[in-house]
A and B are shown apart, each in its own frame.
Chain A
Amino acid sequence: MKIVVLPKQTFDTEAKITLDAAGKINREGVNLIMNPYDEFAVEEALRLKEKHGGEVTVVSFGGPKVPDILRQALAMGADKAVHVGDEGLEEIDEHTTATILAKLLRDLEYDLILAGWRAIDDGSAQVAGRVAEILGLPMVNMVIKLDIAEGKAVASREIEGGYEVVEVPLPAVITAQKGLNEPRYPTMKGIMQAKKKPMQKLTIADLGLGGEEVAPKVRARRYYLPSPRSQGKIITGEPAEAAAELVRLLREEAKVV
């Protein structure tokens, strides 16, 4: 079985977000990681490979540090990687990314495409769905259990108040939700062997794309940080009086009761 995983490089979950002089998100000195939901996708791909045989390819679009997360996936056990660079693109959106990934995927063989259900940075949860749409593939979102048999995928997903089990023919796009699996640590041998595995670097021009095709349809106009949380208030006094004062403040000041 041939599986392609689409990880994205994101800020570390503990990174402090700041804006630069131009009002853009400051990327200087920020630790970058593989989007945690994409780690579930990579892990699931490796487990499916271990069970059914086959090959796992990881593909990511982005800046010059993207090979770090691809190398991580190779160290975990993926077989090969493709990095599509973002050179020459000033601004991108989900349309840009999905267009580029889908174009590349047309040249790859796959039975299954896996991704995280969303990235922890912009959280738009659109790219995998757009890729499925462009390629005309069925898609199951936010999957917590996945079985593959006889050319079909049976996937469980959380829905409000319960679970839904759906079946789709392969090839299909499946996105991972927390709970699907527990990603492995790369082994030391895996890390050392990763450098011997193929990592292809492509540009957008290599894919025959450019200009309007990859221009963003959505543009961010402004970024701003949430206002700092104001100091809490401690109400002193006898418990009964303090409780009455708390209720008064909740009603009159906070207007929540």
Chain B
Amino acid sequence: MNFDLTKEQKMIRDVVREFAQGEIAPRAREIDRTGQFPLDIIKKMADLDLMGLPFPEKYGGAGADYVSYCLAVEEISRACASTGLTYEAHISLGCMPIYLFGTEEQKEKYLVPLCRGECLGAFGLTEPNAGSDAGATQTTAVEDGDWWVINGSKCFITNASYARFVTITAVTDRALGKRGISNFIVPTDAPGFTIRATYEKMGLHGSNTTELFFDNVRVPKENLLGERNKGFKQFLQVLDGGRIAIAAMAVGIAQACLDAALAYARERVQFGQPIARFQAISFKLADMATNIELARTMYLKAAWLKDQGRPVTKEAAMVKVFASEMATRAALDAIQIHGGYGYMKEFPVERYLRDAKLLEIGEGTSEINRLVIARAIGCYL
């Protein structure tokens, strides 16, 4: 048993922390207020080789592991959750399906520019009528000679406005139900493919959230990603990894809550002393710190399991539920500790709450993740 990070993991965490606190954190409030996508920050992240962090060097990656990547997600999200989500979706949802299921040619063509940060990665899974019930996908792909013809739509898709291509799920054999779904790589400039980013969101304003519309979009046969009709299993595997990273994001936001609330509680004087000295406040902070430590330890364990190539479905679901719900509570407590100031946009904690809430929903709701856990421990035998 060894809980130490490796020297490389530690250095990656420290460098990303310094970069995120120095270059991203000072911009977070403005990014939230304007909803402007921070392309210049993404460019700097690409210059640091962050955009391909956990992928081999031969695909333009940095050759680090999933643990390092999750540490980076935590640090970036601690500074700005919008940027954290952009990064998480790029790696876990954009790059990962191509890395896991792509042919050598597909990796050369699609993974390399993603890792270099030349464009952002996006994954089109959710549909208006297929959220938690992802097997109910309605988008279809029909074979036509050397082509697939895609029709349908997707919603809540992160990063697509800045993507050159999007990996999507589509039904290729209606009779097989969820066993008739396949993944396709669709270039964003394909005729009939429309991307719209008009959502008004509660938080994560600096993350690009889009709808995708496919009107007889034709992609060549070789754009099928992975085996035909194996799409459902494939995206479940992709989501396992994504959930660990979402947990790391949650830890980052919760850490930011603790940083802000602790600093405030030490400075804010009431009844003649800093409110951090009152048990009502200090115990809130103690609980926050405890929960953050637990969630961090668990995401690191899950990421380590993934690095070892071991099964991680249950652990990923566990830490996703625990960390995301923990982050929302941390944000609520941070607001409470700030009192009236916490309700004001002058302080960052109301933003943390709006940003944290999404993590209980995206990449598998808490309810779906509890279902995964209950299934894994044998409730439904």
Contact = CB atoms under 8 A, between A and B. Distances in A.
B64 A185 contact: no
A71 B63 contact: no
A158 B49 CA distance: 36
B7 interface: yes
**3 A-B pairs with least C-beta separation:** A188-B62, A188-B49, A189-B49
B47 A186 contact: no
Name which of B8, B18, B47, B64 has the most chain A CB atoms within 10 A of its CB: B8
Nearest to B57: A189
A195 B63 CA distance: 12
Q: How large is the interface on B (under 10, 10 to 19, 20 to 34, 35 or more residues)?
A: 10 to 19
Contact of B47 (A71, A75, A187, A191): A187
5 contacts: A71-B7, A72-B11, A186-B11, A187-B62, A191-B15
Given A186-B11, A188-B62, A191-B12, 11 more contacts: A75-B11, A75-B15, A187-B49, A188-B49, A188-B53, A189-B63, A190-B49, A192-B8, A192-B64, A194-B8, A195-B7
Contact of B48 (A68, A72, A187): A187
B317 interface: no
Interface residues of A, number: 14
A71 B48 contact: no
Interface string B269-300: 00000000000000000000000000000000
Nearest to B63: A192
A188 B48 contact: yes
Interface string B287-320: 0000000000000000000000000000000000
B47 A188 contact: no
A186 B15 contact: yes
B101 interface: no
Interface string B28-56: 00000000000000000001111001000
B18 A71 contact: no
Contacts of B53: 188
A192 B62 contact: yes
B262 to A, nearest CB: 15
B147 interface: no
Contacts of B347: none
Contacts of B11: 71-72, 75, 186, 191, 194
B99 interface: no
Contact of B8 (A185, A187, A191): A191
A203 B57 CA distance: 36
A226 B64 CA distance: 45
Interface in A60-74: 68, 71-72
A177 B19 CA distance: 22
Interface of A: 68, 71-72, 75, 185-192, 194-195
A189 B8 contact: no
Interface in B50-103: 50, 53, 57, 62-64, 68
Contacts of B8: 191-192, 194-195
Nearest to B7: A71
A189 B57 CA distance: 8
A204 B168 CA distance: 62
Of the listed residues A75, A187, A192, the one surrounded by the most CB atoms of chain B closer than 10 A to its CB is: A192
A190 B49 CA distance: 9
A188 B64 contact: yes
Most chain B beta-carbon neighbours within 10 Å: one of A189, A190, A191, A194: A191
A140 B192 CA distance: 66
Contacts of B64: 188, 191-192
A185 B75 CA distance: 15
Contacts of A189: 49, 57, 62-63
B47 to A, nearest CB: 7
Nearest to A67: B7
A185 B57 CA distance: 19
A103 to B, nearest CB: 28
Nearest to B54: A188
A255 to B, nearest CB: 32
A75 B10 CA distance: 13
B52 to A, nearest CB: 8
A68 B11 CA distance: 9
Contacts of B49: 187-190
A190 B53 CA distance: 11
A192 B12 CA distance: 9
A41 B49 CA distance: 24
Nearest to A186: B15
A253 B62 CA distance: 63
Q: Output the residue of A68, A71, A75, A186 with the most chain B CB within 10 A.
A: A186
A186 B68 CA distance: 15
Nearest to A76: B15
A75 B9 CA distance: 13
B60 to A, nearest CB: 10
Nearest to A31: B14
Contacts of B48: 185, 187-188
A190 B18 CA distance: 16
B274 to A, nearest CB: 15
A188 B50 contact: yes
Contacts of B63: 189, 192
Contacts of A192: 8, 57, 62-64
